[in-house]
Amino acid sequence: MRQDQDVRQEPAKRKKKKGGRLFYRIMAASFAGIVLLFALAGIVLPDRGYSEEEKRVLASFPEASWDGIQKKDYMEDLESYVSDQFVLRDAWIRFKVQCDLLVGKREFNGIYLGKDKYLIQIPGEPDDENVARNMQAINQFAGRYPELRVCMMIVPNAACVMEEYLPKGAPVRDQEKDVEDLKGQLAENINYIDVTASMRGHVQEGLYYKTDHHWTSKGALRAFEAAAEGLGIENPITDYEVYTVTNDFSGTLSSKSGYHKVKDSIQVYAPKGTEVKYLVTDSDDVKERPTVYDKEALNGKDQYQVFFGGNHALVDIRTTNRTSRSLLVFKDSYANCFVPFLLPYYDEIIMVDPRYYYDNVQMLVSNKKVTDVLFLYNMDTFLGDRSIADVLAGE
C-alpha cells in the first residue's frame, strides 16, 4: 500500500506518460503505414484511363510547363491526377456513399435517392429570358406555317411525375407550374399536349429509369397513349410485343451519384397488327437501314443509345405508309424512345436536334412537304435549351 502511495505522490506527468504508450505507437505505425502503403501503391500500379463506374476519362500525369506552373494549372492537374488515380478509387467512392446513406443523407451531387432505389435528378434553374426567347421563336414558326398542325409536348421529369418517391420534403422545382407557364406563353394555333396527369396514374409501372435521367419505353408508351389524340392519330395501336434488350443498364445518374446498387433494363416495343416497314438515315450515317435500333450501343458506354444510336442533327425515317402525313420533330434525347411509337402513322418522320442542326429549317419544311410538327422535350432540358430559337430563325 505504501508503495502505491509513493508512486501517486510522484508528479502526475510520469504516470500519464506511462499509460498510452502503446496507443501512440500504434497510431504512429498505422498512420505512417497507411500513408506509405497508398503512396507506394500509387507509384507502382499503372494508371487507369477510363472509369466505367464514373463514366468519365480519368486524369493522366500532366506535363510541366512554366506557363502551367505560373497559372497554377499544373498544380491543379497534378492534384486531379493523384486523386483520380488513387488506388481502389471506385471502392472508396462506394464506401463513401454507404457512409452517407447510414447517416441519413439522401442527396448526392444534385441527385436524390428516392423510394425503391430510384435516383431522381434535381431539375435545374432555368433562364427565364431564354425560355421566353425560345417560346417566341416557336410561336413565330407556327405563325409562318398556319396550314401545319403544330404540337408541343414537354414531358415533366421524374422529380415531378414521381413526386411521392422523393425523400420527404426534399425541395424541388415545381414543374407543374412550369407547364402552366409554358401554356401561357404559347400561341393559339399550337396544341400543348400535357401528359403529366396520365403519367402520374401509371407511376408504379416504372415510367423512368432508376439509374438514368431518361424515361423508360413504358413511360413513353403511356405518354403516347395520352398524346395520340392531340397528335391527330385516330386509332392508335394498343397491342405491342415487348422485348427486353438489356438488364444491365447503368445510366448517368448512377455514375454521377456514385450509387450503384441497382441496374435498369431497357425494353423495346414492337407494335402488333401492322405491316409497316421503314428505312432510316441520319446526318452521321447516310447508309439506309431498316431499323431505328442500334444494337452496337448495347455494348457501349451508354446503352440508352440503342434508340437511334444517340442524338444526331438530323434523322430521316421513310415508311411504307400512305397516310400523306409527314412529321417534323424538334427534339432532345427523350424523343428517341418515343418516336418508335409514331412510326405506323406517318409516311415520313424527320427528327431535328437543334443543338447540332445548322442548316435551313425553312427549306427542310418545304422540301419534305411536312404536314405535322412536334416539339418534344423533357422539361429540364427544354428550360435550359439555347438552340431552338436560333435553329427556327434559320437564315
Partner 1 sequence: MMEKTREKWGYKKWGYIRNGLVVLLVLFVILDLWGGRGGDADMETLVAEVTKAAGMEGGRPAGARMVKRFYGLNPGDYESVVLYAPADNMDARELLIVKLATPSQREEVEKAVQGRLDVQLDSFDGYGAEQTALLEAHVLRAKGDYVLYIVHERADEAGAAFEKAFR
Partner 2 sequence: MIFSSIFFIFVFLPVVLAVYYLVPFRYQLKNLVLLLASLVFYAWGEPVYVILMLLGIGINFAGGLEIENYLQSGRERNAKVACIVIVAVDLAVLGFYKYYGFVLENVNAVLPFDIPYHELALPIGISFYTFQTISYIIDVYRQKVGAQRSFITFGAYVCMFPQLIAGPIVRYSDVEKQLAKRTLSVEKFGDGAMWFLRGLGKKVLLANTMGSVFDAIMALGAANTSVLTAWIGCFAYTMQIYFDFGGYSDMAVGLGKMLGFEFMKNFDYPYTAKSVTEFWRRWHISLSSWFKEYVYIPLGGNRGGTKKAVRNLLVVWALTGLWHGAAWNFIFWGLYYGIILCVEKYILKEGLAKLPAVCRHVYTMVLVMLGWVLFSSPTLGRALSYTGTMFGIGGSGVADATGLYFLGTCLVPGTVSAILCAPLVYKWIPRITRAKEWYKQVAGAVIYIGIFLVSTAYLVNATYNPFLYFRF
Binding site for partner 2 (CB under 8 A): 16, 19-32, 34-36, 38-39, 42, 69-70, 72, 75, 78-79, 82-83, 86, 89, 92-93, 95-96, 99, 103-107, 109, 167-171, 258
Would you list the DSSP string of 305-338? GGBTTS--SEEEEEES--S--EEEEEE-GGGGGT
Report the partner that residue 390 touches, choosing among partner 1, partner 2, none (CB closer than 5 to 8 A by kind): partner 1
Residue with smaller CB distance to partner 1, 110 or 143 = 110
Report the partner that residue 83 touches, choosing among partner 1, partner 2, none (CB closer than 5 to 8 A by kind): partner 2
Contacting partner 1 (CB under 8 A), which of 139, 305, 319, 371? Answer: 305
Nearest to 109, CA basis, from 210, 211, 256, 254: 256
Binding region for partner 1 (CB under 8 A) out of 12-20, 187-195, 305-313, 362-370: 305-313
Phi and psi (nearest 5°) for 268? -125, 135
Residue with smaller CB distance to partner 2, 101 or 203 = 101
Cell for 158? 421524374
Asked whether position 390 contacts partner 1 by CB under 8 A, the answer is yes
Asked whether position 358 contacts partner 1 by CB under 8 A, the answer is yes
Asked whether position 15 contacts partner 1 by CB under 8 A, the answer is no
C-alpha to C-alpha distance for 277 and 344, rounded to whole angstroms = 8
Asked whether position 285 contacts partner 1 by CB under 8 A, the answer is no
Q: Which residues contact 140 (CB under 8 A, 6 or more apart)?
A: 392
C-alpha to C-alpha distance for 276 and 292, rounded to whole angstroms = 13
Residues between 197 and 236 that touch partner 1 (CB under 8 A): 212
C-alpha to C-alpha distance for 203 and 387, rounded to whole angstroms = 31
- SS3 of residue 153 by DSSP: strand
Binding region for partner 1 (CB under 8 A) out of 15-23, 100-108, 111-119, 301-309: 301-309
Matching residue, cell 434559320: 394
C-alpha distances (whole Å) from 62 to each of 75, 76, 358, 382 are 9, 9, 36, 37
Q: Which residues contact 210 (CB under 8 A, 6 or more apart)?
A: 116, 117, 118, 119, 262, 264
Strands 348-352 and 326-331: parallel
**CA angle (101 as vertex; 93, 103 as ends), nearest 5:** 115
Residue with smaller CB distance to partner 2, 125 or 275 = 125
Whether 293 contacts 307, CB under 8 Å = yes
C-alpha to C-alpha distance for 281 and 347, rounded to whole angstroms = 15
Residue with smaller CB distance to partner 1, 86 or 356 = 356
C-alpha to C-alpha distance for 289 and 280, rounded to whole angstroms = 5
Contacting partner 1 (CB under 8 A), which of 31, 38, 50, 243? Answer: 50
Whether 303 contacts 264, CB under 8 Å = no
Strands 111-113 and 119-121: antiparallel
Residue with smaller CB distance to partner 2, 169 or 290 = 169
Asked whether position 148 contacts partner 1 by CB under 8 A, the answer is no
Residue with smaller CB distance to partner 1, 209 or 269 = 209
Minimum CB separation from partner 2 for residue 214, in Å?
24
Whether 160 contacts 383, CB under 8 Å = no
Asked whether position 61 contacts partner 1 by CB under 8 A, the answer is no
Minimum CB separation from partner 2 for residue 37, in Å?
9
**DSSP structural state of residue 360:** -
Asked whether position 55 contacts partner 1 by CB under 8 A, the answer is yes
Residue with smaller CB distance to partner 2, 37 or 197 = 37
Asked whether position 56 contacts partner 1 by CB under 8 A, the answer is yes
Binding region for partner 1 (CB under 8 A) out of 30-38, 296-304, 343-351, 366-374: 296-304
Report the partner that residue 251 touches, choosing among partner 2, partner 1, none (CB closer than 5 to 8 A by kind): partner 1
Residue with smaller CB distance to partner 1, 347 or 385 = 385
Residues at the site binding partner 1, with contacts judged by CB under 8 A: 50, 55-57, 63, 65, 67-68, 73, 212, 251-252, 255, 283-284, 300-302, 304-305, 310-313, 353, 355-356, 358, 381, 384, 386-387, 390, 395
